[in-house]
Structure 1
Amino acid sequence: ATRGSKVPVVASVVSTPRSPTGAAVAARLAGTVETVALRRADAVHAVTPGVADAVRRVHGIDPDRIHVAERGRDPETFARADPAARVRARRELEIEPDAEVVLCVGRHEADKGIDLLIESLGGLDRPGLVVLLAGREGLETTRLRAGAERSDNPERFRFLGHRDDVPTLLRAADVLAVPSLREGAAGSVIEAMAVGVPIAAFELEGLAGILGHDRTALLAADRRAGSLAAAVLALLDDPERATRIADAAHAQFLER
């Protein structure tokens, strides 16, 4: 609509592109349309350095036209959790004070990898483990609920639906699990960094420059359920390491 006008166009990219190799016809077509749109834009905004690299590589955009502006959050709304806030949050959510709580925030879509999280945590022999699954329902909802019911410990999974009280959920959590297979500057990641909750995630191009392994998160190098479970357990079983990682992530949040 702006072609022929003098209005500059800035295109914003919030996640890494889907790989064209083996992608469905609709996905390949969408990728082609995205490439055309990005090449016609006067400038391209990327939410992370990793997303910027992917845009350059996949769409062939000149690096000089790509500008990184990271997302942020209100530090007062997402204030650092303290022991009293943790107690209040767990009481509000009816969670035992000594439970191990893993939180996942994400829509019920295939790219979010929630099925892998359910697979990774469903069979663990951790009687006090609670897994909070917050996020809008979608195409994967029925399959995700069925996967949880089939697991060895279906009672540990709590499907919360869309929530407006993510700060409360984070203050109740011991770990934020990010099982996404494709991501940019995930809001839940930034919010966990702000609140001071350690993060376990897959190593993703889109999160490069935001999360660093054993510095601001524990990153699973491969996208297997067992690798994600290992990262979650490493944080649950080593509170000192979890605190060190959460502190570094919080400091990075404040700096940016």
Structure 2
Amino acid sequence: MPAVAEPLIVWIISGEAVVEERDLGGDWAACHVRTGDFFLTRSATPYEMRWRAIGDAPFQVMHLYLSVAVFERVASDMLGGDAPPALRDVAGARDAQLSHLLALIHQELTAEGQGSEIFIHSLARCLAVHLIRHYAAAELDQDQQTALPGFRLRQAISYLQTHLAEPFSLAEVAAVVGMSEFHFSRLFKKATGMSPSRYLIRQRIARAQVPPTGSGWTWTITRRLMLPRREARNSGEQRRDLRSR
């Protein structure tokens, strides 16, 4: 995946898969995802992603790029003159409210009813508000030694996601990323706003609250919430770019 200036959400529309990510030349970090799970990134550097579908249902996703202009306007409205916040990386998580917004966006884009562009622009602003409220990264010191590298954060989140049903062990998670328990726990909380154990509890609750949905979607879609521009993709896939005025 290339570096992206815009916040990128990858939302699982149907199916299940094992998805793996890594920084270029790094170790692969895997997580098991199913319908309703999502990834969030605004990576400043390229990284690699691969996946292997599981089961009979087609594995289909929606890639949604939120306009930098929309994101920054909403951040300014919410935070005043402060610079827009950085967003933390999220891998294979569940968020009922986010899924609801994405489902509305997908439905409106495919239906193309009267006033769709106005409605979608409103949804894009709602999406930006939600991301800033729940996924803004805690402020990091300029010294890189006090920041948890993105690939280690993804490794930790991937491990927690694949061990939701198991008792929490800080020692095991810290070992996965090659750090001491104290140092890892402190930097994880600094990056996400919560401790590793609290993050695990929230993900367990979120997964329990959101039942699997049907698999009626029939294509993979990429969306850019920004003036209407459409281009066909091969294999029956579609891509629509929507740019706000």
> TM-score per shorter chain, which class?
under 0.3
Higher strand share: 2
Higher helix share: 1
Larger radius of gyration, structure 1 or 2? 1
